[in-house]
Amino acid sequence: MQVFESFNELNDYYPAIYDGVASFLTEEDLQEPINGALGGDICIIETEEEYRKMLTELYIRDMAEEVTPGWFLFLLCTNNAGGTSYYVPTSMVKPEDYEGKL
């Protein structure tokens, strides 16, 4: 799993995810650490093992949907600013992984 704390670094590796996030943030927000703007880091799940572990740890979720083409977002809000965002390739996600669990 890759963990991103900086929007610039996220843009270098995953520009589509960056563009999706940047579309609802201000330029000022994008200069802040990701944690400050979103209430948690952005994590990219890369393997099936990481995905299964995330599902076990995030048994309750506030959001689970495809927000960027090819990427499914799981989010558990843990503070007023939000929480850690987990992006998973849509090819790994099955409806039973999120339906009825929000």
pLDDT in tens, 41-71: 999 999 999 999 999 887 767 888 898 899 9
d(C-alpha 24, C-alpha 76), whole Å:
18
The residue with greater pLDDT, 73 or 95, is: 73
Question: CA-CA distances (angstroms) from residue 7 to 14, 49, 55?
Answer: 10, 26, 25
Give the pLDDT confidence score for residue 41 in this predicted structure.
94
Give the H/E segment covering residue 31: helix 27-31
φ, ψ (nearest 5 deg) of residue 28: -65, -45
In this predicted structure, the answer to whether residue 1 has a pLDDT above a threshold of 70 is: yes
Give the pLDDT confidence score for residue 100 in this predicted structure.
63
Give the pLDDT confidence score for residue 101 in this predicted structure.
55
